[in-house]
Structure 1
Amino acid sequence: MKFPSVYLLLLLIISAPVAHAQRLYDLDKAWKARRASEVQEDGIALSRATGGLTGWIPARVPGTVLTTLLENGLVPDPFYGMNNERIPDIYKTGNAHYTYWFVNDFNYPALAGGDQAWLHLRGVNYRCDVFLNGEKLNARPHNGMFLRQVYNITKALRPGGANRLAVIVHPADVAGNPNGGQGGDGTIAKNVAHQYVAGWDWIQPVRDRNTGIWDKVWIEQTKSVNLKNPHVVTHVPGKRFPGEKQEPARINVSAELENPTAAKVTGKLTYTLEGQTVSQTVTVGPKQTVTVTLPVLTVSNPKLWWPNGYGAQHLYTSSLQFTEPGKGVSDEEKITVGVREVRTAWNAHTRSREVSVNGQKIFIKGGNWIISDAMLRFSDARYDAEIRFHRDMNLNLIRVWGGALIERPEFFAACDRYGLLVMQDFWMSGDCNGRWVDPMKAEDQWTRRNYPDDHNLFIASAEDQIKMVRNHPSLAMWCGGNEITPPADILSALRDDLLPRLDGTRWFAEYSNTDSMSYNSIGGNGDGPYGIQNIRTFWEDRTFPFNSEVGSVGVGDAVSLERFLPEVNRVAPDEPNRRIDSVWQYHKYIGYDSSVYRYGKPKDMADFANKAQLVNYDQYRALMEGFSAHMWDWYTGTIIWKTQNPWTALRGQMYDYYLDPNACLYGLRKGSEPLHVMCNPVTGMVMVANNTFVPYNDLMLVVKAYDVAGKERLLTQVFVTVEPTDAKKYLSVKGYLNQPGQPKDVFLSLQLLDVKKNVVSENLYWLPDAKGSYPGLNQLAAAPLKTTVKRVGPGQVAVTLKNPAGGAVAFFNRVSLVDLNTKKRLLPVFYTDNYVSVVPGEERTVVLEYTPGDVPVAVTVSGWNVKEQVVAVD
């Protein structure tokens, strides 16, 4: 999988400061693994030995047992076809089948006198013991998926020589029965771990429940004192505007200092940002850890961090150092800081939570996030690509769903860069944790209500994970759980102790659809629906005022489907007769009902998938338009369920598992534009939504219609003024369209032009007949679209689509970058737009970015009435 070099370089630049002046040593290579039942030695003997790993297999760390087995060809790809059924499930095999030893042999440089070495394991699932060079590091077994481990290994380490680290990893105590329920039989929630691995309505069970060393492992080297868990809080009082000279901001900084030595240590803790410093002299007693709070640092005219669409995402690189007299820096932490302040308030008119950043209210356009990869194969580059897709959809918030995990710092770093606010759930779900009566569950609601079994472990894990991610400017809200509060003692610990003490700056929602976020006055669960809706409903039917979950379909095109559907299963769903292929069902296909058939009966899978893209685009454009049309009146925001899939599912995704976008992404991008012209399909009312802080004066609103032959008809044009953060009605075109004696219009075109006649927003709707079908599209003549391609920079290509005057509209054109030789799409590629339509006499330019490689590339363009074109890129 290739990623644009500019983004890899950015990742390297951003991650480089974390290297603590080259005092971090990653242990991400040369791991080996073997099933524990096949290993005769205990941990002490195993870690003391050198060599002797015959029969062991290369292991992926970070990773899981299943990823290691997959990479060694010992199990089939569970994301393809029905392969997951060929992999033994832990519920049937027992835990011993997936209990594994992981061993790493490494050389470590010599330590200077007085230096300390610390082993970090950022995530092990679920229970483990850790051995180094014949010594057991943990006094008792480590438990819990969400609890970092840090061991002082100074005495156990062999500096300047060979070392062996051995970790035995046991699965979660309760694997849960994957019986088809949400979270299987629910008992997976007895553990302090993720719940989706027992299966959900969007994924099949993960067979090893993601047992393994699933997150990063490294050694940190310090001098006498270890500086850890820094906390940086920025205060931005008042109401601010991007780009203006700013009043001062205040920064509060604290950190923990740990002294593992037998002597007290006196030194200075110093925080530096943009050349400004604050410091304090500290004495740390032997074997003591203290928390130190520094004096307030005031930043004059700060460069502020804003959410996507509202301003720039400026990030400062700051540092914390603890120095000892005569010894220099004992330890240093580099911290990326976004100066911003997030607040929430109750909007009494909408009866929902309203979010503001730097004193400006933000209309929330969000997406629900599950996890980057169901088998925990995380990477900085994949995080960057996925969050960039969310930025490109013009979203400004991601909610991290409670059935998964507290997302990794690399995820938050990407959200920091791209301006995505984050609402982070803790590890609860209404399905597993007892909100509803459920015959699929093994235990009753009263019992499930007290999951997990170890509340103290949950609380300790929450404390640790809060400390891990709290410095990120993108983190905006905490949430107790998905559709349910945690048990009373855990809820009290989060709300009344941990979050006030460890954070104190972010709003805490007790659960995702709590009335304090969005008052439920219409019944139901307070979120949804989750499938195809009539376009009219998005505009005219009032729903929850800050919907935490509402969504629709998401099937990819034929190229996407062929990546994981065996050839025999590449058949179009027969919706009218409810005949759906078994592999489609296994991959959680959600029905399109009659919506695809309104474009004509699909001839085959490819035809079905192409027509589904029209539905995808229309659904998500209308969803966000409907919410935006009523912002601050009915709604303060909405969060789509969901924007991505961590495996090859057939529902709720803007791009597939392989990072190939479908039309959902571009329909949502269109409907979520910061400045967006749109038309209510029920009333014909043309509106403009302005999700910026900038007013627009003297914009020309131009409304045209096009018939099947491409003939243009000007309906009206008028100068308009658009206020900031507002949605306003301007005129209705219902009376203009399709009057008796006029030709049948197929398209409605809306444009906003500035005083220089530049297009600042445009929107093209295809119009249904009285029955809701689209026969006009099937009468379109072939459009003589001309495609030109120009390389505009390394990894950047401009594709210009020109439609000569006198013909039909060139409708719904997909632009792709492919390998010139194989014609396979390159992934990921980022397009400024896609599924574009070009009216006669006009042209559109799409700019794409990709990672240049050794293969020659070409651009393909194909549309509803445009034959596929292949144009080589020089």
Structure 2
Amino acid sequence: MTYRLPLCLLLLLVLRFPLWAQIQREFNTGWQCLPAAKTRADGLALSRPSYVLAGWAPAVVPGTVLATQLANKQVPDPFYGMNNKHIPDIYTTGRDYYTYWFVKDFTEAPVAAKEQIWLHLRGVNYSCDVFLNGQKINKLTHHGMFLRQEYNVTPYLARDNQNRLAIIVYPADPVGNPNGGQGGDGRIAKSVATQYTAGWDWIQPIRDRNTGIWDKVVLERTGAINLKNPHVVTRVPGVRLPGGGQAPAMVQVSAELENPTAKAIAGALQYTLDGHTVSQSVSIPAQSTQVVSLKDLRLPNPKLWWPNGYGAQPLYQLKMQFVIGSKTVSDAETVEVGVREIQTQWNAKTQSRQVLVNGQKVFIKGGNWIISDAMLRFTDARYDAEIRFHRDMNLNLIRVWGGALVERPEFYAACDKYGLLVIQDFWMSGDANGRWLDPQKAEDQWTRRQYPDDHRLFINSAADQVKMVRNHASLAMWCGGNEITPPRDILTALADSILPRLDGTRWFIPYSNSDSLSYNRLGGNGDGPYGIQDPRSFWAVRTFPFNSEVGSVGVGDYESLERFIPKANLMAPQYLGPASKNAEKADSVWTYHTYTGVGYNQYLLPYGAPTSVRDFALKAQLVNYNQYRALMEGFSAHMWEWYTGTIIWKTQNPWTSMRGQMYDYYLDPNACLYGLRSGSAPLHPMYNPVDSMVMIVNNSFAVQRDLMLVVDAYDLAGKKTNITQVIVEINPSMAKNYLPIGAVVRQMAKQKGMFLSLQLQDLNKKVVSHNFYWLSDAKGEFSGLKTMAKTTVKIAAKQLAKDKISVTLTNPANAPVAFFNRLALVNPSTQQRLLPVFYSDNYVSVLPGESTTVVMDYTPGGPMPLVSVEGWNVERQLLPVAAN
């Protein structure tokens, strides 16, 4: 990612060279808009500062037409209740309804000799014409959601420094019929744009199809040479380990140099990295752009970047500039560099790819990602929060699904920071692009197989987006599309030209469930299953060896549901019994927000039939926790034998959907996140429910030794029985069986069920990893939980720092287990949860006579929050936070 140089660096450069006023400023405020149908004026007139903008409304830029309408209270919140049904859909209104003018007035100081001013549009959906001060600056109408635009606007700037930019934005054509199919009738895929906007099984249609200036608008001032698209490659030979001294790494750097002037410009392209400077003299011909490669840098003792759970994620700043005549810095860029090398190799035993980072194989624990916000309201803070949640789940990879977009540099910056590898799909999906026969699609399979209509636009857009994100350490693999390859000419261009030429370092997967990723010996689509599974199946049933999509539950708790479901509709789904064709009957608002209910009640009922929607949501969290812990434990138990990795479908929602999420749209986590966090822990004791074997998994590069495995059972009254404890040792990157405990567990659990505690302790008896199960009785019921006695937990909350609070829960001796406690920070006036909050753990259980501490990170603002604690057998408590 490129950044504007900090002021201190600019001042240092000024002391060394006379510096052109290299400035980038983002146009993210002060925009006005009007539907194009409401004015007869053209762009030549509208872009003159003298034209009076009577009746124009404030506009959201970056943003979409729908985001602007929402900000101006012209439409209701489409994420709440049934509101989205009442917003006009572009398929019904026609494209003119969502065709808008966007206007921005700005001042710009006069340019000095040879200075250049550049206008950058990082994303417009779908087509646009651009005008500045009464002149059209794009000769041909721009098309394509994923093709950046750059214009040298130096000749168009006003002499009095008062300027007006006017952009007319046209929706995609066609917009597709949102008929309930995946991607509607499929015709949304005829354009090079997001496909989910016509509706999917986890989202309702986005009414404007995301029409608008949806990404950043930047004005940049440079000298005679414009330095752009720097490319940094790091090579890390050999097999490395985190920490300690390192053998050298190689750094390979190039950049594009654009000379818009009428004369050749001579100078030097140079960069500095970790105190090392590399320079290359070059002359750029008039009115041309050249790629300049510098000699390789041998970087001694590099600080290596590792995926989450395997090591740290240090980032270097590479400062690059073009110097003219050894005196003037014409342009400068800064790139954050993670020194690492990513490779893949075929595992003949599993029949799937395995990923290597810095020579070490990494077992992939991933999540599928759609997009941060369905209306494209992106912020750095939201990206950071969402990726941090994925880090907190102990995941190490995110796959960006092909029905959305090549993610923004800010997303990748967060993945760099938190150590999440990324598989990036291009813009294809099997549903819209013709993998299957589908009566809901407007055109036949053979026609859809050739979508989009403009293959050259797709190819150009792909090349441009590769340049935009290729420097990020987190980017691990490219993928041709979701469950389908692109048309042959596009696939050939990607595989044989674009990626080798513009990247050359990452493996290219033809499509997400390709046999080249994971050999499909089971038939079907090569991914899934979806929906709630019997937790035992994750351990016992061998599925695809690198499963690109598996699993899909995630109903939030009551506090989550009430954010988007009106009070009148907050009623629990009704279970109709196994004899019914439809096992559940749910309120229409629930089903509109994609609640399917397939299987939930089957796993809820053993806890007792829900008595209210709040009770339903609580019991759903028990199911959620067990579901995702079992998923990752089952895959990890067979690492390198059955599997090289798995990617959950899916871990987040960009809309208020109930399908597949570890946290809701409002960034409130549910129990899925913490069950997955437990099951994905790097060093983890676990219980196989199929053969009753206690196992340990070690997802690190180091031998783990001198650990005590302590296995304890607790009955529903809190009585403890030590089953066994034994010193253990486990080699790197493996899962290992230790001992079967089936006979003991069956005997203790058969009447009312039981609790099972697994701990790994070090030589000082400090717990280094803990896992806690609740097991059913012999009939598969949680009969003991239904009648479990209450306990009173002592809670102590104190402020550790201005943004950090610790909460210690202490359960009295001779009490039952304090089971499944949900912690939150709440506003003292409204008692509404603060969001987002990052918990070191949640939905925690506290053993009799013991304590558990949870640390909460949050963004302070307003009054000191209260701490809320509520558990299965613990009454809700609200208490203040003690000062540090």
* TM-score, with length taken from structure 1: 0.97
Closer, same or farther: CA 326–765 of 1 in aligned 2, 3 Å:
closer
* Deviation for aligned residue 1:804: 1.0
Q: Which aligned pairs between 1:687-702 and structure 2 lie closer than 5 A?
A: 687-702=695-710
Is the counterpart of residue 667 in structure 1 residue 678 in structure 2? no
Q: 802-811 or 694-703, which moves further after superposition?
A: 694-703
Is the counterpart of residue 283 in structure 1 residue 270 in structure 2? no
Q: Which residue does 1:803 correspond to in 2?
A: 811
Q: Which residue does 1:762 correspond to in 2?
A: 770
Closer, same or farther: CA 641–28 of 1 in aligned 2, 3 Å:
same
Q: Which residue does 1:373 correspond to in 2?
A: 373
CA deviations over 1:674-710 (Å, ceiling 9, x no partner): 0000000111100001111111112111111111110
Distance in 2 of aligned mates of 1:15 and 1:78: 39
Q: Which aligned pairs between 1:506-517 and structure 2 lie closer than 5 A?
A: 506-517=506-517
* Deviation for aligned residue 1:14: 10
CA contact (8 A) 1:552 1:619 kept: no
- Given the alignment, which residue of 682, 685, 693 partners 1:685? 693
Q: Which residue does 1:136 correspond to in 2?
A: 136
Q: Which residue does 1:582 correspond to in 2?
A: 588
Q: Which residue does 1:148 correspond to in 2?
A: 148
Secondary structure at 1:735 match in 2: helix
Distance in 1 of aligned mates of 2:529 and 2:57: 46
Distance in 2 of aligned mates of 1:218 and 1:443: 40
CA deviations over 1:375-400 (Å, ceiling 9, x no partner): 00000000000000000000000000
Secondary structure at 1:700 match in 2: strand
Q: Which residue does 2:116 correspond to in 1?
A: 116
CA deviations over 1:538-589 (Å, ceiling 9, x no partner): 0000000000000121000000000000111100011335211111000000
Secondary structure at 2:605 match in 1: helix
CA deviations over 1:797-827 (Å, ceiling 9, x no partner): 0000000100000000000000111101000
Distance in 2 of aligned mates of 1:126 and 1:418: 33
Closer, same or farther: CA 595–448 of 1 in aligned 2, 3 Å:
same
Code of the residue aligned with 2:872 in structure 1: it is W
Closer, same or farther: CA 13–319 of 1 in aligned 2, 3 Å:
closer
Is the counterpart of residue 351 in structure 1 residue 351 in structure 2? yes
Closer, same or farther: CA 34–17 of 1 in aligned 2, 3 Å:
farther
Q: 240-249 or 741-750, which moves further after superposition?
A: 741-750
Secondary structure at 2:747 match in 1: coil
Q: Which residue does 1:7 correspond to in 2?
A: none
Closer, same or farther: CA 374–596 of 1 in aligned 2, 3 Å:
same
Q: Which residue does 1:397 correspond to in 2?
A: 397
Is the counterpart of residue 29 in structure 1 residue 29 in structure 2? yes
Q: Which residue does 2:741 correspond to in 1?
A: 733
CA contact (8 A) 1:807 1:840 kept: yes
Code of the residue aligned with 2:329 in structure 1: it is V
Secondary structure at 2:622 match in 1: helix
CA contact (8 A) 1:120 1:219 kept: yes
- Given the alignment, which residue of 714, 723, 731 partners 1:723? 731
CA contact (8 A) 2:627 2:675 kept: yes
Q: 738-747 or 69-78, which moves further after superposition?
A: 738-747
Code of the residue aligned with 1:96 in structure 2: it is D
Q: Which residue does 2:127 correspond to in 1?
A: 127
Distance in 2 of aligned mates of 1:699 and 1:391: 25
Q: Which aligned pairs between 1:201-212 and structure 2 lie closer than 5 A?
A: 201-212=201-212
Q: Which residue does 1:846 correspond to in 2?
A: 854
* Deviation for aligned residue 1:136: 0.5
Closer, same or farther: CA 700–16 of 1 in aligned 2, 3 Å:
farther
CA deviations over 1:456-475 (Å, ceiling 9, x no partner): 00000000000000000000
- Given the alignment, which residue of 657, 661, 664 partners 1:656? 664
Code of the residue aligned with 2:537 in structure 1: it is T
CA contact (8 A) 2:749 2:775 kept: no
Code of the residue aligned with 2:191 in structure 1: it is N
CA contact (8 A) 1:813 1:864 kept: yes
Secondary structure at 2:618 match in 1: helix
Q: Which residue does 2:543 correspond to in 1?
A: 543
Distance in 2 of aligned mates of 1:264 and 1:358: 42
Distance in 2 of aligned mates of 1:311 and 1:226: 37
CA contact (8 A) 2:752 2:777 kept: no
CA contact (8 A) 2:425 2:479 kept: yes
Code of the residue aligned with 2:200 in structure 1: it is W
* Deviation for aligned residue 1:593: 3.6
- Identity %, equivalent residues: 65
Q: Which aligned pairs between 1:223-622 and structure 2 lie closer than 5 A?
A: 223-325=223-325, 327-576=327-576, 577-591=583-597, 592-622=600-630
CA contact (8 A) 2:49 2:162 kept: no
Q: Which residue does 1:5 correspond to in 2?
A: none
* Deviation for aligned residue 1:275: 1.3
Code of the residue aligned with 2:64 in structure 1: it is T
Code of the residue aligned with 2:595 in structure 1: it is Y
Closer, same or farther: CA 304–189 of 1 in aligned 2, 3 Å:
same
* Deviation for aligned residue 1:854: 1.9
CA contact (8 A) 2:231 2:470 kept: yes
How many residues are treated as equivalent by the alignment? 865
* Deviation for aligned residue 1:736: 1.4
Secondary structure at 1:241 match in 2: coil
CA contact (8 A) 2:714 2:720 kept: yes
* Deviation for aligned residue 1:16: 8.5
CA deviations over 1:36-86 (Å, ceiling 9, x no partner): 011121101110133511111000000000000000000000000000011
Q: Which residue does 1:39 correspond to in 2?
A: 39
Code of the residue aligned with 2:770 in structure 1: it is E
Distance in 1 of aligned mates of 2:757 and 2:491: 51
* Structure 1 residues not aligned, in runs of 5+: 1-9
Q: Which aligned pairs between 1:119-198 and structure 2 lie closer than 5 A?
A: 119-158=119-158, 161-198=161-198
CA deviations over 1:757-786 (Å, ceiling 9, x no partner): 110111110001233221111121101211
Code of the residue aligned with 2:848 in structure 1: it is P
Q: Which residue does 1:6 correspond to in 2?
A: none
* Deviation for aligned residue 1:663: 0.3
Q: 734-743 or 571-580, which moves further after superposition?
A: 734-743
Distance in 2 of aligned mates of 1:138 and 1:741: 73
* Deviation for aligned residue 1:110: 2.8
CA deviations over 1:462-509 (Å, ceiling 9, x no partner): 000000000000000000000000000000000000000000000000
* TM-score, with length taken from structure 2: 0.96
* Deviation for aligned residue 1:137: 0.7
Q: Which residue does 2:880 correspond to in 1?
A: 872
Closer, same or farther: CA 344–712 of 1 in aligned 2, 3 Å:
same
RMSD: 1.6
